[in-house]
Amino acid sequence: MAILVTGGAGYIGSHTVVELLNANQQVIIVDNLSNANVIALSRIEKITAKSCIFYQGSVLNKALLHKIFTDHAIEAVIHLAGLKAEADSVCKPLQYYETNVTGTIILCQVMAEHQVKKLVFSSSATVYGVPDGLPIKETDSTGATTPYGQSKLMVEQLLADLHTADNQWDITILRYFNPVGAHPSGLIGEDPCDIPNNLMAYICQVAVGKLKELQVFGNDYLTPDGTGVRDYIHVVDLAQGHLKALAKLSSNSAIATYNLGTGRGYSVIEIINTFEQITGKAIPYRFSARRDGDLAAYFADVSHAKTALDWHAELSLETMIESSWHWQSKNPNGYRN
Ligand code: UFG
């Protein structure tokens, strides 16, 4: 039996596939390569000395999904394929709702037709909107502020409704905090197509000389040093979380939601200082206005994942930074060398 990973060639997908292959799972990937590179697949093979089956295509392509489910014995699906840039989603709402919401509907329709009802879904801490309090618990209220966040919330709702209608469905929703870092081999990592939106990717490109300086968005937040605080989690820990979620799926028919984070927040200035210490690279930066939609502080209560999934993040901020830099310095242009 195989695990289908949608979006398996992307940043989180490639790391998850490595962990699955290392655990001797058979893996099938479907990815349209809209924000991923096919070279990641040969790197995965190099890391694991194992191969997976790859289909290039979108989750909107129902005929392709049917073919995949017909040709392979699929046990469960890890659904990572989706668009993920908050600001971009404000300009392209139709594209975000189509890919993220319609894509999930089509995937679930095909899964149901083939009697495959085990699903791990990639959601985001963005669904909490302005948090009720800190740390953020899974039971806190939700309220997304962008089409991207709304699309994740809509999918969470449709999965809950699907489980109500047919309780044979086994569904785990993972709400990621801020994934950073790269595989220790330096062979796979985050490879933004454009100028990075996210902090760690931006810092790495400043350090490697591709970007001149970092803008720190806001230094007047109510945080210890005035800059934004986030819960950064190593992508390898995150990938492991998916394996724990899969293991749990086989034991009961339920729907469950988990935060995946470390439970600890770091400010932008702490990230810059730690990056400089570890890499010996200076990160020139200047303070600029707050970025629209940003919040002061955001970090997870991770106790539910610890108790119910037997999972917790193990890798330190130092390891996150070391591995991000290892990847970036070995691959200054990402996969496009
Ligand atoms: N930041 C800067 N300069 C930059 C980029 C970011 O100062 O060039 C700051 C932000 O203001 C924020 C922190 O660095 O305080 C982290 O910003 P990121 O863009 O890396 O991450 P966000 O927390 O804004 O958002 C990310 C994902 C979202 C997801 C969210 C969940 O991009 O999709 O984490 O926690 F929903």
Counting from 1 in the atom list of ligand 1, the atom nearest the Cα of 201 is: 20
Domain locations in the chain as residue ranges:
2-180+233-261+300-313
Mean predicted confidence (pLDDT) in 311-325? 98
For 161-171, write each residue's pLDDT tens digit.
999 999 999 99
Single out the catalytic residue among 97, 128, 148, 176: 148
User: Per-residue pLDDT tens for 151-191?
Assistant: 999 999 999 999 999 999 999 999 999 999 999 999 999 99
Torsion of CA 147, 148, 149, 152, to 10 degrees: 110
Tell me: the pLDDT tens digits for 81-92? 999 999 999 999
Q: What is the pLDDT of residues 263-304, one digit of tens each?
A: 999 999 999 999 999 999 999 999 999 998 899 999 999 999
175 CB near ligand 1 (under 6 Å)? no
Identity at 241, one-letter amino acid code: G
| pLDDT value for 159 | 98
What confidence tens digit (pLDDT) does each residue in 213-229 have?
Answer: 999 999 999 999 999 99
Q: What is the mean pLDDT of residues 110-137?
A: 97
Q: What average pLDDT score do residues 7-23 get?
A: 98
The pTM for the full model equals 0.98
| Closest among 260, 239, 243, 247 to 305, alpha carbons compared | 260
**Best residue among 291, 292, 301, 324 to mutate for probing ligand 1, ranked by most atoms within 8 Å of CB:** 291
For residue 153, give Cα distances in angstroms to 41, 79, 191: 30, 15, 26
Q: Is the CB of 41 under 6 A from ligand 1?
A: no
Hey, what CATH topology would domain 2-180+233-261+300-313 get? Answer: Rossmann fold (3.40.50)
Burial of 253 (0-12, 13-18, 19+ CB in 10 A): middle
Range name among 46-60, 107-121, 192-206, 251-265 with the lowest pLDDT average = 251-265
Share of the chain above pLDDT 70, in %: 99
Distance CA 108, CA 130 (A): 30
- Ligand 1 geometric centre to CA of 58 (Å): 27
Query: Half-sphere exposure (CA, 13 Å, Cβ side) for 6?
Result: 29
Asked if omega into 184 is within 30° of 0 (cis), the reply is no
pLDDT of residue 293: 87
